[in-house]
């Protein structure tokens, strides 16, 4: 189907980075469905092939519990539809996978541990393949996945890759020309008397600036009022503050984005969150918007 939907099937050893790969695909515009049973792949293909369907790039992440189903058959049937299908298989050396499980303290899906498989909630029944050690579970999973690996278009050994390097590799392989990961940046004002926002990544204190609260004709208004805004922005201390703050933010935002951060919150606070911080947050948003960032501005305490 020329010009039709594209599919990526993400498979591989548990702990090798399937979740990181899925997040990277989502960052560059793929619609990601995680832990999809193979027998439902055809249903997804039917859905996206319907007239008027808006999905063009779909990534399907196969979870370990579904490997016992015939994933290879599902992939073959999808390719027989003349769909664009690529399979990426992730793996890592056994010692690396063991270390990752030790670090995260999570149980391998095929590892029964010290208890019979049948009594472990969510684990395979005793009639299904299980292993009594993490190493055995990793090797058993590789056996179950041998045919899937054979059909893979891309095999990535993640043993020597950190999450950032794996994310970049997936983006390079499956991103369309011009795709770049997007980071949503929120600029917010707040009042220290109401508490520092817990979601803030960067916090800047504006309480050193002259306070329009003490100007009787400005006190009833907020930092959104032109009179208050012009008064705050007209202060020499404000000009000095912005002259130092803006180059810092312009340097930090691309670095946060390069590290794969999806959301960044910049918080600017004054005493009550109604005057100085509101005016500064609006100005920072205006200046950053001119740099092509994906921004929105909100004022947490402006109505208090």
User: pLDDT per residue over 40-71, tens digit each?
Assistant: 888 998 888 888 778 888 999 987 655 556 88
Higher pLDDT pick, 123 / 297: 297
Looking at residue 105, what is its pLDDT? Answer: 67
Contact by Cβ (8 Å): 137, 131: yes
Q: Could you give the CA distance from residue 159 to residue 286 in angstroms, rounded to a whole number?
A: 43
Average of pLDDT values for 171-183? 69
Looking at residue 194, what is its pLDDT? Answer: 93
Among the listed ranges 165-179, 192-206, 229-243, which one has the minimum average pLDDT value? 165-179
Question: How sure is the predictor about 28, in pLDDT bands with cuts at 50, 70 and 90?
Answer: confident
Question: How sure is the predictor about 263, in pLDDT bands with cuts at 50, 70 and 90?
Answer: confident
Among the listed ranges 96-105, 175-184, 218-227, which one has the minimum average pLDDT value? 175-184
The structure's pTM equals 0.57
Report the DSSP pairing between strands 31-34 and 263-270: unpaired
Looking at residue 176, what is its pLDDT? Answer: 67
Higher pLDDT pick, 203 / 145: 203
Q: Could you give the CA distance from residue 196 to residue 137 in angstroms, rounded to a whole number?
A: 46
Please report, rounded to a whole number, the percentage of residues in the chain having pLDDT higher than 70: 85
**Residue 280 predicted with pLDDT over 90:** yes
Contact by Cβ (8 Å): 176, 33: no
Please report, rounded to a whole number, the percentage of residues in the chain having pLDDT higher than 90: 37
Question: How sure is the predictor about 206, in pLDDT bands with cuts at 50, 70 and 90?
Answer: very high
Average of pLDDT values for 123-127? 45
Average of pLDDT values for 83-108? 83
**Residue 121 predicted with pLDDT over 60:** no
Looking at residue 113, what is its pLDDT? Answer: 58
**Residue 211 predicted with pLDDT over 80:** yes
Average of pLDDT values for 25-42? 88
**Residue 119 predicted with pLDDT over 80:** no
Looking at residue 187, what is its pLDDT? Answer: 94
Alpha-carbon distance values, 292 to 29, 114, 250, 287 (Å):
18, 54, 11, 10
Looking at residue 181, what is its pLDDT? Answer: 57
Q: What average pLDDT does the structure give for the chain?
A: 84
Question: How sure is the predictor about 209, in pLDDT bands with cuts at 50, 70 and 90?
Answer: very high
Q: Of 239, 249, 243, which is closest to residue 209 (Cα–Cα)? A: 239
Q: Could you give the CA distance from residue 118 to residue 72 in angstroms, rounded to a whole number?
A: 27
Question: What is the per-residue pLDDT across 215-255, written as a single tens digit (0 to 9) for each?
Answer: 999 999 999 999 999 999 999 999 999 999 999 999 999 88
């Amino acid at each position: 189907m020329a010009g039709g939907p594209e599919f990526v099937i993400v498979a591989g050893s548990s702990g090798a980075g399937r979740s990181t790969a899925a997040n990277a695909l989502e960052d560059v515009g793929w619609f990601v469905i995680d832990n999809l049973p193979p027998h439902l792949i055809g249903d997804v293909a039917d859905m996206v092939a319907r007239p008027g369907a808006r999905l063009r790039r779909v990534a399907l992440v196969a979870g370990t519990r579904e490997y016992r189903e015939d994933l290879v058959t599902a992939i073959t049937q999808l390719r027989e539809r003349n769909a664009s299908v690529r399979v990426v298989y992730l793996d890592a050396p056994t010692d690396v996978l063991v270390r990752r499980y030790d670090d995260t303290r999570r149980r391998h899906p095929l590892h029964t541990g010290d208890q019979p498989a049948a009594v472990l909630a969510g684990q395979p029944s005793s009639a299904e393949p299980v292993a009594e050690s993490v190493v055995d579970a990793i090797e058993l999973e590789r056996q179950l996945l041998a045919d899937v690996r054979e059909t893979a278009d891309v095999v990535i050994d993640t043993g020597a890759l950190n999450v950032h390097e794996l994310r970049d590799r997936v983006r390079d392989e499956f991103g369309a020309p011009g795709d770049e990961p997007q980071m949503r940046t929120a600029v917010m004002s707040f009042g220290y008397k109401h508490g520092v926002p817990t979601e803030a990544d960067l916090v800047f204190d504006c309480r050193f600036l002259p306070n329009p609260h003490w100007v009787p004709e400005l006190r009833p208004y907020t930092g959104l009022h032109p009179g208050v805004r012009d008064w705050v922005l007209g202060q020499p201390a404000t000009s000095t503050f912005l002259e130092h703050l803006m180059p810092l933010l312009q340097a930090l935002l691309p670095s946060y984005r390069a590290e794969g951060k999806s959301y960044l919150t910049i918080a600017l606070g004054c005493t009550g969150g109604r005057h100085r911080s509101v005016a500064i947050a609006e100005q920072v948003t205006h200046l950053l918007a001119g740099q092509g960032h994906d921004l929105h501005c909100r004022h947490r305490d402006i109505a208090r």
